[in-house]
Amino acid sequence: MAHEMRTPIESGCPDGFQYMHPVMRKNYGQWAYHEDPQPGVLLHVSHNGDKIWTVRAGTQRILDLFTLRKLCDIGDTYGEGYIHFTIRSNIEYQVADEAKVQPLIKALTDAGFVVGGTRNSVAMLSHTQGWLHCDIPGTDASGVVKSMMDELIDEFKGWNMPNRVHMTTSCCQINCGGQGDIAINVQHTKPPKINHDLVSNVCERPSVVARCPVAAIRPALVNGKPSLEVDEKKCICCGACYPPCPPMQINDAEHSKLSIWVGGNHSNARGKPTFQKLVASGIPNNPPRWPEATAVVKKILKTYKEDAKDWERINDWIERIGWPRFFEKTGLPFTKYHIDNWRGARASLNASTHIRF
Ligand code: SF4
Ligand code: SF4
């Protein structure tokens, strides 16, 4: 007997069109041009003459209910009831009436939100989950973002940079986040410490062994119990073994540091993708304000602002002046830790563009 097919359960994200401002929906794909009337405001003009203004304000990525309600109330009272969030945690309000733009900005500013983040500003730092709801972070991404954006507020509000600056944070060394003009990433500097009493109860050893990108983990018997051992000469301290096996503790108050990478950029219509390069390592992971990491970021931004030509992104600027000049101009020390002399990649990492099955 033929079985009746089960209907699929739709659990993906809902169709975004239903939430769009009607003017955006009507003119989808029909925009003639856009302008930037002032920091934090965009104007889009359609081929048929329709206009829509967008007001952008920064928010924390992880919003509490009360703040979210406040933001929505502002949208209902001063906007036209339509909002959306950008991937960098900015909230955007759309209005089709120019007269609503300034009262909306005032309402946001009076409520303590900062309007900006458009064109050649430092956009809101994007960040990963951090301590709030991930199980492997070595630092708190939200805290780093808050401390840095407090110091960069004028760069968010103004158009002071040669081009836009996107920054990211990543709270472990292996997973989400960490790609931008400037990226602040966790850097583990010591191999994991293994709690052998727990390994056999908690970890599926073959999957932990398989997880290591450089084949540094082996099954071992320790004190008569099945456990794991790490070849510390091979270990690159990436932390990839920690999520499947928490007894391989890699987070450490002293040895988990922050590193800063610059020059990452996605490809676009004009340029190829560029990879980030490490420019500062071993920065103390120092909550609650992370002053050392913030100082390095500010130093890079100041030099970029003074030295880059208009429209150069950070990677364009460094490509023009060269990496040695980058270190000279920023005053960041170039140390042995900046040299990638790890040769295991040739044998163990998938370094070619061929797809293998
Ligand atoms: S970057 Fe790592 S620690 Fe942070 S949220 Fe993503 S997986 Fe978790
Ligand atoms: S930290 Fe990374 S390299 Fe070192 S043992 Fe764990 S998975 Fe392997």
pLDDT surpassing 80 at residue 356: no
Nearest alpha carbon to residue 304 among 163, 97, 142, 157: 163
* Angle, alpha carbons 22-9-82 (nearest 5°): 20
Nearest alpha carbon to residue 119 among 58, 184, 51, 37: 37
DSSP 8-state assignment for residue 44? E
Listed in sequence order, the residues at least 6 apart from 221 whose beta carbon sits closer than 8 Å to its beta carbon are 227
pLDDT surpassing 90 at residue 61: no
More confident call, 101 vs 275: 101
Which pLDDT value is given to residue 142? 85
Which pLDDT value is given to residue 339? 84
Which pLDDT value is given to residue 352? 59
Distances (CA, A) of 151 to 39, 98, 285, 290, 301: 18, 32, 17, 11, 12
Nearest CA to ligand 1 atom 8: 134
101-126 average pLDDT score: 96
- How far, in Å, CA of 181 to CA of 166, rounded? 5
For residue 241, report the distance from its CA to the centre of ligand 2, in Å.
6
Sorting pLDDT into bands at 50, 70 and 90, what band is 1?
low
For residue 176, report the distance from its CA to the centre of ligand 2, in Å.
17
Which pLDDT value is given to residue 178? 67
User: In whole numbers, what is the pLDDT of the chain averaged over residues?
Assistant: 91
Sorting pLDDT into bands at 50, 70 and 90, what band is 58?
very high
Q: Which of 134, 185, 187, 261 to mutate to test the pocket of ligand 1 (most atoms within 8 A of CB)?
A: 134
354: helix, strand or coil: coil
173-186 average pLDDT score: 86
Asked if 288 and 147 count as a contact pair (C-beta separation under 8 A), the reply is yes
Least confident of 119-128, 291-300, 344-353: 344-353
Q: Which of 129, 133, 186, 211 to mutate to test the pocket of ligand 1 (most atoms within 8 A of CB)?
A: 129
Reduced to 3 DSSP states, what percent helix, strand and coil does the chain have, rounded to the nearest 5?
30, 20, 50
84: helix, strand or coil: strand
Give strand pairing partners of 313.
none
Nearest alpha carbon to residue 239 among 172, 193, 299: 172
Which pLDDT value is given to residue 355? 55
Sorting pLDDT into bands at 50, 70 and 90, what band is 129?
confident
More confident call, 169 vs 343: 169
For residue 190, report the distance from its CA to the centre of ligand 2, in Å.
10
Which pLDDT value is given to residue 53? 98
For residue 169, report the distance from its CA to the centre of ligand 2, in Å.
21
Asked if 182 and 260 count as a contact pair (C-beta separation under 8 A), the reply is yes
Q: State percent of the chain over pLDDT 90.
A: 73
Using CA atoms in the order 10, 12, 18, 19, what is the torsion angle rounded to 10 degrees? 140
Sorting pLDDT into bands at 50, 70 and 90, what band is 4?
confident
Tokens of 94: 């759309």
270-276 average pLDDT score: 85
Least confident of 121-130, 250-259, 281-290: 121-130
Which pLDDT value is given to residue 345? 63
pLDDT tens-digit series, residues 20-47: 999 999 999 999 999 999 999 999 999 9
Which pLDDT value is given to residue 29? 95
pLDDT surpassing 90 at residue 164: yes
DSSP 8-state assignment for residue 265? B
Listed in sequence order, the residues at least 6 apart from 106 whose beta carbon sits closer than 8 Å to its beta carbon are none
